[in-house]
Amino acid sequence: MDQIKIKNLEVFGHHGLLPEENTLGQKFLINATLYIQAGIAGQSDKMSDSIHYGDVCQFITKFMHDHTFKLIETVAEQLSRQLLLTYPRMKKIRLEVLKPWAPIGLPLESVSVEVVRGWKCAYLSLGSNMGDRQKYLDNAIAALKENPFVKVNKVAGYINTPPYGKTDQSDFLNTAVEIETLLNPEQLLELIHDIEKKNKRVRKEHWGERTLDIDILLFEDTINRSLQLTIPHADMHNRHFVLEPMCEIAPQVMHPIFHLTMYQLLERLNKLS
């Protein structure tokens, strides 16, 4: 991606472990690389198609002055997140916070913390087979849209499907959703569990009836195997009710383990059925 670079922006802040640092304050230096798609602005020559680096510098200066943190790790984390939330055209940021002459009792020029943060693409599968199924799916999508750390980009049409695994229950209404998020996979899992709980999800029986079921299918190219979370979803390639909605919104997205697109996975599953 294209980059706008801000180097050695001098700001004043009250960040540090020592009480004197919080009271008296000190100088900090900020380096920031803003990742954007600059092609549109390059063609139009309009500021509205880019990010005003002067505004970004003012935002950083005010943030550093108005907040007080003990750790520059926290400064970097909170500042990078707020910049990404404030400037929608910014897809990723590399942010370095330098603390000159840090008070450690030894001669040094500076210490710094650098972080890289950005919007990550993920895909979710949603299903319901109890009560007002459409309402539960609508509620879940609305809750995702309301979260400031999530952007809902695409929603597949709702499809009616027979139950999977445990077949002596009502049909499901299913869909798939493409999102961008500032949350990591574990934080996203916590969010969707909270959404399920607010929609009366009860976990009594594996593959049993539920008001709302949300699964993380893919998270960028992440491959994760833990007790809490498996990415990519371990059984997505065997499920028509997952692959059909995914082919509607992301047919060319690649499975990071099988190295097949969603379309190819569905074609393969259809041949096996």
Torsion of CA 38, 42, 45, 48, to 10 degrees: -10
Active site residues: 99
> Do the beta carbons of residue 207 and residue 189 sit within 8 Å?
no
Alpha carbon distance 4, 38 (integer Å): 9
Lookup: tokens for 159:
């499809």
Task: Give dist(CA 55, CA 44) in Å, integer.
Answer: 20
| Other beta carbons less than 10 A from residue 90's beta carbon | 21
Q: DSSP labels for 74-107? A: HHHHHHHHHHHHH-TT--EEEEEEEEET-SSSS-
